[in-house]
Structure 1
Amino acid sequence: MSGTTVLAPEATRTPVITGVGLALPGVETPADLPGRAEPGTEPVDPAARIGKKGLRYKDRATHLGLVVAHDALRAAGLLEGEKLDTRLTVEPSSVAVVVSSNFGNLDSVTDVVDTVAAEKSSRLVSPIVTPNLSSNVIASEVAIRFTLRGPNLTVCNGATGGLDAVGWALSWLRAGRARYVLVIGVEPDNAVVRKLQGTDRVLDGAAAVVLELPATAAERSAEVLAECVASTRTSSVAGCVAALTGDGGAPAGWYVPEGADAPDADVLPGVDRVDLAGVWGRASGALGVLQVASAAARFAAGERGALLTVSGSDGDDGVAGVLVRPGRD
């Protein structure tokens, strides 16, 4: 996904969002997300959301990923039931999973490294925790729990990871690799993450969206929340914005990248800017998925104009963007 590649096919091939799942402090449903209220102080309790069975020995990021997967699949109509009593309503091999997380299992990895360093041996490392050392642990645990047997991938792409994950989903759908793609962005809050991020304000949460093609959604009479009109990956914020808005004019709003390097005021002047990191803390690999989920929630609340989501800054190794608009009536 390097270089400048814009994907904007005809409407019948424009992937749509049919489900959203959120695990954020103070947020009960997607309807709570478009507002800019400060998040609550209580962290999300995964056991209360999806039941405690199957959570033991799994790390925080996996817990949060399971929560949003459960809610997004149910919202899209791909999963029946609640908590522990659920059943997939479509062919398992038709559902793919792509997760974006840069720090998801880092606390598990550092715990094991510290143990090995202290003991000069791995004999005290429990086999129970070793699955948590896999970079793909969140995506694989989601697939196991909900019997999702399509393509399965984890993206650890730094600042652009969340929107890169969305880009992979769009490619899989257009190539016929899957009929449905569950995209998850998740990052945990712990001492290791705070140290690496250089701030105490980091996201402890996750977001998920379910993507499919319009014809597939129509077959199921699924509600279309939003359309992913086009996506790109470039080397600059200005280039990303130009590639996605050059033909259609300015969007109604845009979700800006996080970090110290704010987008230049000359880029989309006068367009409403939304900084989710300013509300939830540094979101890293979860940011792009959270941006897209927030845009879909705004459409559900009545927003009619297209929204631009951008992750990564000119100082990063890339900038990714996705242009999202309301689902067609």
Structure 2
Amino acid sequence: MTLAVTGVAVALPGAADPRALLEPARPGADPVDPAALIGKKGLRFKDRATRLGLALAHAALTDAGILREGERTVPGDRVGTVVSSNLGNADTVCRAVETIAKESTGALSPMDTPNASSNIIASETAIRYGLRGPNLTVCNGRTSGLDAMRWAALMLRAGRADHILVTGVEPDNEVTRRLVGGPVADGGAAVVLSRHPTTPAKALLGPVVRTARQADTVDELKRRAPGADLWLGTEDHVPDSARGLALSGWGELSGALGVVQCAAAAGWFAQGGSGPVHALAGTAGAVLFAPERTG
């Protein structure tokens, strides 16, 4: 079954379009303001990662035709959401632990504690946009974003939903910088993967592979789809005939990496690039094809 990428959204400092991911990052660009994108209502008491995720979800669902003027156009129980975030609410969790250590559980804010849930971004997205299909958060290191794409594809092929919103997002703050040893991307991307597209496809998702070693993943990608025009996420395995794009200039993407790669592939096709496109994140890999491809 061919799965279509029908909606794409990007929210990174200096990048609001998937084609911008193919250009160098802009140092010093203003951070993304979710309230300016979707309004302030419902964002109070939400952590940074959740606010960014809600803005990405709105843009991707709208791009896919699932939202129109804020209203859903398809049954909510046929739309699921998968979120990939390794660092999303780390600041909330660390703040809660510090409060308990210094005072007690009684000092915790009842407005803040829900944000300590590991599934907070996915659950808030589902509640806000009425997505009653499968709901899942993946927190799996560097492979997390492509793992999220794989889980979304599995659920679609199993008939659990007709559309899955996949969001990869990471916030930049003192806690996340301390965890990764440097700046974090402070944003991410979202794509809608559909088995019954409601709008023209931006890309087609091919095989998503996972092996024990990165070299084996590279070999498997080459075997499944030889002759890639673009390699995303690596500069080490790029044939002479292809372009390599590491995306590292946007800061540490962590759990957002694989989803940002898929958005970048859609941007590549939008500006006339052909394919296939290979995405590589650790030991996970994916192939994306141009939307006009059949079979």
Q: Same fold (TM over 0.5)?
A: yes
One of 74, 96, 99 as aligned partner of 2:80: 96
1:238 aligns with 2:215: yes
1:20 aligns with 2:8: yes
1:325 aligns with 2:295: no
The change in CA–CA distance for 1:167 and 1:247 in structure 2 (over 3 A counts) is closer
CA distance, structure 1, for counterparts of residue 192 and residue 238 of structure 2: 29
User: How much does 1:138 deviate?
Assistant: 0.1
One of 173, 180, 196 as aligned partner of 1:190: 173
CA offsets per residue over residues 198-223 of structure 1, 9 Å max, x none? 12x2210020000012xx11xx3x11
8 Å Cα contact 1:255-1:308 kept in structure 2: yes
CA distance, structure 2, for counterparts of residue 113 and residue 248 of structure 1: 47
Amino acid at match of 1:292: C
TM-score by length of 2: 0.96
Unaligned 5+ segments in structure 1 are 1-12, 313-318
Structure 1 outlier segments of 4+, above 3 Å:
none
Q: Tell me the equivalent position of 2:247.
A: 276
The change in CA–CA distance for 1:36 and 1:276 in structure 2 (over 3 A counts) is same
CA distance, structure 2, for counterparts of residue 247 and residue 80 of structure 1: 37
8 Å Cα contact 2:146-2:285 kept in structure 1: yes
8 Å Cα contact 1:163-1:311 kept in structure 2: yes
Unaligned 5+ segments in structure 2 are none
8 Å Cα contact 2:203-2:289 kept in structure 1: yes
Amino acid at match of 2:117: S
Q: Tell me the equivalent position of 2:230.
A: 253
Q: Tell me the equivalent position of 1:56.
A: 44
The alignment covers a number of residue pairs equal to 292
CA distance, structure 1, for counterparts of residue 98 and residue 161 of structure 2: 40
Q: Tell me the equivalent position of 2:55.
A: 67
SS at match of 1:123: helix
User: How much does 1:284 deviate?
Assistant: 0.5
CA distance, structure 2, for counterparts of residue 211 and residue 249 of structure 1: 23
CA distance, structure 2, for counterparts of residue 39 and residue 28 of structure 1: 15
CA distance, structure 1, for counterparts of residue 115 and residue 108 of structure 2: 12
Amino acid at match of 1:190: N
1:209 aligns with 2:173: no
Q: Tell me the equivalent position of 2:116.
A: 133
User: How much does 1:273 deviate?
Assistant: 1.2
Percent of aligned pairs sharing the same letter = 50
TM-score by length of 1: 0.86
CA distance, structure 1, for counterparts of residue 58 and residue 109 of structure 2: 29
